[in-house]
């Protein structure tokens, strides 16, 4: 059964004032492995690969135990873009997954159309789309993506936070939805469409990254997916694969602070926002060994979680 394992929250690991998501040995190893894989894939000369990796070590050598993985990843990818003089090395991959999911839009929307609870189905589908993540799964292929999504949609899912989210949306005037990855953004559109049907007066903002990083979405990707038909598309002004509030621009922060409800997609946003001072609903898949242990969950299980106690 695929569901939020509430024992984790009962243990207080992620409650208000609980344990911070800190950098771990697994995170360090994962990020450096990603850097090595990027070098092998995108840099032809072996000596240049070594020079790139040495530069990564220099640029990341001042991190400490309070550094979160999205900040470390952002530093590594900043080095990579500068070293290769390529501002968007995953651009073709992002275009591929945007178009691949769009080409199957009718099939995926069928999960919602045939569901008894359309809102629940839309949440599951949005979460399932989080599998499209080259940071967590660098050797991802489209067959794997489709298989994981289809499997997730077959499984039962329940969470006490689902009712809380619907209650808060019903009372809200402004929703800020924080996007994550290309391809995944089409699944976000399914949920946003369903929210708009249920709450037609709700003003919705959809936030992307400020610059390309890994396969995270930019405003361009969001508009390709058609998000702008249902929400105002903005960016957060940063090139981190997460939402690092201390680095976000003033316009984004104003919308973030004024929104009645914030929905956050993906592990990177979760890691960077779980201790934020405001209430946030997080939706993502548990995709790595660190989170499997941290959350007490299995691989590719859906997480729907709110960082503040219900008022």
Q: pLDDT digits over 185-236, tens only? A: 999 999 999 999 999 999 999 999 999 999 999 999 999 999 999 999 999 9
> 224-259 burial, b if ≥16 CB within 10 A, otherwise e?
bbebeebbebbbbbbbbbbbbbebbeeebeebbeeb
For residue 193, give the nearest of 218, 220, 229, 223 by alpha carbon: 229
Topology given in CATH for the domain delimited by 7-12+91-306: Rossmann fold (3.40.50)
Q: Quickly count: other Cβ atoms within 10 Å of residue 157's Cβ.
A: 20
CA atoms within 13 A on the CB side of 24: 12
Rounded to whole angstroms, how far apart are CA atoms 73 and 90? 14
Distances (CA, A) of 249 to 179, 225, 235, 244: 16, 24, 9, 10
Tokens of 85: 């003089």
Is it the case that residue 310 has pLDDT exceeding 80? no
pLDDT of residue 137: 59
Contacts 24+ apart (CB under 8 A), 99-103: 100/142, 100/145, 100/183, 101/129, 101/132, 101/183, 101/184, 101/186, 101/187, 101/225, 102/186, 102/224, 102/225, 102/226
Tokens of 78: 């900043």
User: pLDDT (tens digit, 9 = 90+) per residue, 127-157?
Assistant: 999 988 766 655 667 777 788 888 888 888 8
DSSP 61: T
Please check whether residue 284 is in contact with residue 267, taking contact to mean a CB–CB distance below 8 angstroms: yes
Q: Where are the domains of the chain?
A: 7-12+91-306, 25-84
pLDDT-based confidence at residue 14 (cuts at 50, 70, 90)? very low
User: pLDDT (tens digit, 9 = 90+) per residue, 242-275?
Assistant: 999 999 999 999 999 999 999 999 999 999 999 9
For residue 256, give the nearest of 239, 234, 228, 271 by alpha carbon: 234
pLDDT of residue 151: 87
Give, for 203, the enclosing helix (H) or strand (E): strand 203-208
pLDDT of residue 12: 41
User: pLDDT (tens digit, 9 = 90+) per residue, 276-295?
Assistant: 999 999 999 998 888 888 88
In sequence order, what are the residues at sequence separation of 6 or more whose Cβ sits closer than 8 angstroms to the Cβ of residue 60? 72, 75, 76
CB burial class (10 A; 0-12, 13-18, 19+) of residue 1? exposed
Rounded to whole angstroms, how far apart are CA atoms 36 and 42? 10
Rounded to whole angstroms, how far apart are CA atoms 73 and 28? 10
DSSP 290: H
Rounded to whole angstroms, how far apart are CA atoms 16 and 89? 38
User: pLDDT (tens digit, 9 = 90+) per residue, 46-105?
Assistant: 999 999 999 999 999 888 888 999 999 999 999 999 999 999 999 999 999 899 999 999
DSSP assignment string, 89-124: TTHHHHHHHHHHHHHTHHHHHHHHHT-SSHHHHHHH
Q: Strands of 261-265's sheet, edge to edge?
A: 232-235, 203-208, 174-178, 261-265, 281-285, 302-306
Query: pTM above the 0.85 mark?
Result: yes
For residue 258, give the nearest of 311, 305, 205, 189 by alpha carbon: 205
Tokens of 167: 């209650």
pLDDT of residue 6: 42
When the pLDDT of each residue in the chain is averaged and rounded to a whole number, the result is 89
pLDDT of residue 311: 53
């Amino acid at each position: 059964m695929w569901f939020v394992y509430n024992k984790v929250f009962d243990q207080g690991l992620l409650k208000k004032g609980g344990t911070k998501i800190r950098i771990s040995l697994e995170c360090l190893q994962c990020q450096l492995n990603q850097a090595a894989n990027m070098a092998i894939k995108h840099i032809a000369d072996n000596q240049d690969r070594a020079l790139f990796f040495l530069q990564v070590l220099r640029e990341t050598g001042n991190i400490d135990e309070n550094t979160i993985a999205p900040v470390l990843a952002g530093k590594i990818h900043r080095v990579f873009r500068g070293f290769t003089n390529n501002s968007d090395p995953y651009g073709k991959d992002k275009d591929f997954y945007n178009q691949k999911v769009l080409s199957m839009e009718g099939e995926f929307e069928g999960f919602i159309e045939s569901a008894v609870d359309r809102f629940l189905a839309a949440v599951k589908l949005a979460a399932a789309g989080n599998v499209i993540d080259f940071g967590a799964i660098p050797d991802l292929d489209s067959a794997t993506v489709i298989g994981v999504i289809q499997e997730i949609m077959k499984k039962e899912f329940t969470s006490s936070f689902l009712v809380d989210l619907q209650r808060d949306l019903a009372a809200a005037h402004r929703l800020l939805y924080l996007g994550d990855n290309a391809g995944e953004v089409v699944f976000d559109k399914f949920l946003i469409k369903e929210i708009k049907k249920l709450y037609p007066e709700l003003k919705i903002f959809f936030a992307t990254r400020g610059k390309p990083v890994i396969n995270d979405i930019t405003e361009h990707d969001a508009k390709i997916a058609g998000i702008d038909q249902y929400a105002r598309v903005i960016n957060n002004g940063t090139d981190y694969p997460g939402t690092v509030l201390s680095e976000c621009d003033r316009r984004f922060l104003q919308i973030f602070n004024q929104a009645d409800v914030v929905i956050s997609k993906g592990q990177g946003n979760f890691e960077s926002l779980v201790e934020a001072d405001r209430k946030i609903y997080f939706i993502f898949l548990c995709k790595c060994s660190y989170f499997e242990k941290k959350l007490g969950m299995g691989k590719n299980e859906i997480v729907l979680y709110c960082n503040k106690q219900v008022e």
